[in-house]
Structure 1
Amino acid sequence: MKVYISNYLSKSISILSYPKFEVEKEIYLEEDIYPHHICVDEEKNLMYIPSSSNGILYILDLISNEIVESISIGGNLSQISLCNGELFISNEDSNSIYILDQKTLNPVGIIGVDEMPHGFDFNNIENKLYVPCVNSIICIDTLSKCIDRKKEIGFKAWHIKIDCKKSEIYTSTLDGKIVILDESKMKIIKVLEGFLLPVQVCFSYKDNKVYVADLGYKNISILDYDTGELLGCINIDGNPQGLEITKDEKLLIVSDTQKNAIKIYDTSNDELVKEIKVGKEPTTILCV
């Protein structure tokens, strides 16, 4: 497994080894490439980087460390993911999801959604893509490329994470709340409060915990998986933004945009294991 980090302000990609979490490689990108979100195809050794500054999608060869191709999409590009040989990219300016064929980079389709689709998450088993927008969550069928259903939630949805175990959707909002929906019915189950600016969410099923990165309070909230009650907080002493958990669920990885570091925590006791300096303003974390 490798850990990939996008460093927004230093315009670079850090690649960390696992399980030692040492910096194996630092790839510096071209002047106009500001990497916020990324996705990786390990088989092809390619990384896909949408640049929000100029609306261009860049393809980085992870062997040569060179940009091998680029395509102009336009607008404020945000999140990107691979699904069934297609690239899905959210565009906040045009309020849409762009779909490209991975091999040819030809357009497959454009799906109009509601205002400001920043992030999204896939249910690959059901072939569904869930997109948080201002005031709504939209479910897209990735096979038909059509909107399957939509739920207005009354909050400014921002980031989203699917809980595959319970078939629930956790949505962080700019209103300082986490909205939990039933995935099949798109019905609000619970609204969790007490946050200031929640960003990413991840689950430790092994330890029965939910982690929420709160950029406003500069900590990681630890919630009981069954009840949603607050169990405690991890004080980051910085600005937590990216959040990821290793596949064995033993380690929590946090990007600190203030200290320009990646911080590793043991999920059994939530104590700091290691801190690694990377580029400026690390945002997205990928464990592949």
Structure 2
Amino acid sequence: MSKYLIVLNKDEDTLSIVDLDKQESIKTIPTSHNPHEVVVSKDGKKTYIACSLGNAVDIMDNDSFEIVKTIEHPEFAFPHGVDLTKDGKKLFLASTFCSKIFVINTETDEVENVFPTYQDKSHMISFSPDGNTVYVPNIGSHNVTEVDVESEEVVNHFPVGRGPEGLAVHPNGEHIYVANQEDNTLYVLDSSNYETLFKRRVGELPVRLVFSPNGEYALIANRYSHDVSVIQTEQKVNNQVRPWEIKRIPVGRWAGGIVFNDSGSFAYVANNKTNDVSIINMETLKEEERIDVGVHPDGIAYLER
């Protein structure tokens, strides 16, 4: 089984294919303008690339590592966050400047539904572990939109910190973690009632948040402090169990997209301004190596095939 990273290079309109065994980029592929966010299909055969300033979604064949189709839509306005339903049959996409959600059928690769969030700068897409709910952080409204996946309808909005961007639901489904870039905080919310349970200071301008596969850690990329906050989700101290930042790992300049390998033994961080990817060993919680990629890498995905 070969292991790869797919890294989007925003400022040169390319993506890099990184061979993790060789720890080097083995291919650079032209994309539409300004590729930002990326997700690999559930069967591993395709990769979807949201190209924000190009107002397009590119589709790459993962056998040939070539772009085979580009989806365009007249209402795209900075298409950005992407993720897939649990069965992989639909892709949800947040388009930032029109604040609309686009639903793409992954069998036909055509847009089949569009609906507004009624909020300002709807930016990312994150599914609940059961696949029933999509959460959309709205940077300009300082809140999060809840979308019912089956009906494809907005059902709720709830407040968080200022400028929410990074968001993920803990694998146990009980807590929602939100990184708020304008006030440099992490909010931890109860997913049953959206009550804010904890507030934590993190680094400067937190922009991405991902959980390790087992839920032990949340990693937050802090763009302006050039580091990654390591949140232990259940730190036990003095008969208390709480989420706590146990380390802040220095990486390259402008930490951005983060992804884990399938086992959770390593995490990979795209460094926007040093044009490389940091490899973080999750046992030692240290940066082990960096891999050179293209100009302004940000969106990143992991692929085994």
Judge same fold: TM > 0.5, yes or no.
Answer: yes
Pairing 1:1-288 to 2, within 5 Å after superposition: 1-29=3-31, 32-41=32-41, 43=43, 45-73=45-73, 74-83=76-85, 84=87, 85-113=89-117, 114-133=119-138, 134-153=141-160, 155-165=162-172, 167-175=174-182, 176-204=184-212, 208-226=216-234, 227-288=242-303
CA contact (8 A) 2:221 2:257 kept: yes
**Residues 162, 21 of structure 1: alpha-carbon distance in 2 compared, 3 angstrom cutoff:** farther
Distance 1:238 1:106 in 2: 37
Distance 1:240 1:274 in 2: 15
Distance 1:263 1:282 in 2: 11
Secondary structure of the structure 1 residue equivalent to 2:247: strand
Unaligned runs of 5+ in 1: none
Give the deviation of 1:44 after TM superposition: 6.8
Root-mean-square deviation (CA, aligned residues, Å) is 2.2
Distance 2:290 2:297 in 1: 13
**Residues 107, 275 of structure 1: alpha-carbon distance in 2 compared, 3 angstrom cutoff:** closer
Give the deviation of 1:22 after TM superposition: 3.3
* Count of equivalent residues: 286
Give the deviation of 1:261 after TM superposition: 0.6
Distance 1:56 1:12 in 2: 14
Give percent identity, aligned residues only.
20
Q: CA deviation digits over 1:165-186, x for unaligned, max 9?
A: 2521111112211111111222
Amino acid at match of 2:281: D
CA contact (8 A) 1:76 1:92 kept: yes
**Residues 214, 52 of structure 1: alpha-carbon distance in 2 compared, 3 angstrom cutoff:** same
Distance 2:33 2:202 in 1: 36
TM-score (norm 2): 0.85
Amino acid at match of 1:59: I
**Residues 146, 245 of structure 1: alpha-carbon distance in 2 compared, 3 angstrom cutoff:** same
TM-score (norm 1): 0.90
Secondary structure of the structure 2 residue equivalent to 1:217: coil
Give the deviation of 1:215 after TM superposition: 0.8
**Residues 56, 194 of structure 1: alpha-carbon distance in 2 compared, 3 angstrom cutoff:** closer
Distance 2:63 2:252 in 1: 35
CA contact (8 A) 1:204 1:267 kept: no
Q: CA deviation digits over 1:59-86, x for unaligned, max 9?
A: 2333444433223222111112222411
